[in-house]
Amino acid sequence: MSALLSFRHLRKSFGERELLDAGPFAIGEGEAYVITGDNGSGKTTLLRILAGLEEGEIAGFEFHGLPLDHGSLPDAVRHDIVYVHQHPYLFHTTIMHNIGYGLAARGIHGTERRRLAEEAIAWAGVDHLRAIYPPKLSGGEKQRVALARAKVLRPRLFLLDEPTANLDGEARGQAIALIRQLVQDQSSLLIACHDRELIELPGMRRFHLEGGKLTQV
């Protein structure tokens, strides 16, 4: 297994309280990982540090063989990692523009951007939501748009924070179906979650975070 992302040691403290003291840890290319743990165990913080959204002390941090300083990610790496919030934020614009946002940030414009966004809209099954203003979408619909917005960028690594939390019934099933498809497509995923169905997806590697330590289950 070639490591896509790895670190030797990761620490994060809030004042006196040490939240994370984990490592070594490695994510293999094309592998899916799930991290379980109680609320407040540091799952979200871990994902946010790896996404470059939060500072942490990381030793031996590497992405695709490239050594990285903790706390900041070069553009090339930032473009390879997409983090999706537990409650995704959709910009106050159309769904099309939301999904095309990251493409525009990568300099992809015009018909190519529209084509890729259309593909992602079809993949997530959100075509019927086009005319609805994003803040008015349900939690499940927002999650699907956010997954489409991430997938369209073809990142090397998806960091998904509790993608099915607060979803139930059909909405949860639809989000799980999209994530299952990402796993089947051999995307690299690191998912923080409690959802049994996601944890038990075939091919999922399981880790548990407790007392700041990551242990394989």
Partner 1 sequence: MDILGSTRQAFALLLSGDAELWTIIWISLRVSLVALAAATPPAVVLGYALAQKRFPGRRILVVLIQGLLSFPTVVVGLILYILLTRQGPLGSWHLLFTQGAMIMGQAVIAFPVLTAFALAAVQGADPRAHETAVSLGASPLRATLTTLLEVRFAVVAGIFNGFGRVISEVGCAMMVGGNIAGVTRNIPTAIALETSKGDFAQGIALGVVLMLFALGISIALGLLQGRGGLK
How far apart are alpha carbons 136 and 209 in whole angstroms?
A: 35
- Which string of DSSP letters, residue by residue, matches 117-161? HHHHHHHHT-GGGTTS-GGGS-HHHHHHHHHHHHHTT--SEEEEE
Please identify, among the stretches 1-9, 49-57, 137-145, 163-171, the one whose residues bind partner 1 according to the rule CB under 8 A: 49-57
Q: CB-wise, 142 or 172, nearer to partner 1? A: 142
3-class SS of residue 72:
coil
Please identify, among the stretches 26-34, 45-53, 63-71, 120-128, the one whose residues bind partner 1 according to the rule CB under 8 A: 45-53
Out of 49, 117, 153, 183, the residue judged to bind partner 1 by CB under 8 A: 153
Out of 149, 151, 156, 172, the residue judged to bind partner 1 by CB under 8 A: 149
Please identify, among the stretches 61-69, 88-96, 164-172, 202-210, the one whose residues bind partner 1 according to the rule CB under 8 A: 88-96
Residue whose tokens read 């979803």: 167
Q: Does 83 bind partner 1 (CB under 8 A)?
A: yes
Structure tokens at 179: 């994530």
Q: Does 88 bind partner 1 (CB under 8 A)?
A: yes
What is the gyration radius of the CA atoms in the chain, in angstroms?
Answer: 17
- Phi and psi dihedrals of 36, rounded to 5? -105, 170
Q: Does 102 bind partner 1 (CB under 8 A)?
A: yes
Check if the beta carbon of residue 179 is closer than 8 Å to that of residue 198: yes
Residues interacting with partner 1, by CB under 8 A?
51-53, 75, 78-79, 81-85, 87-89, 91-92, 101-102, 105-106, 133, 135, 149-150, 153
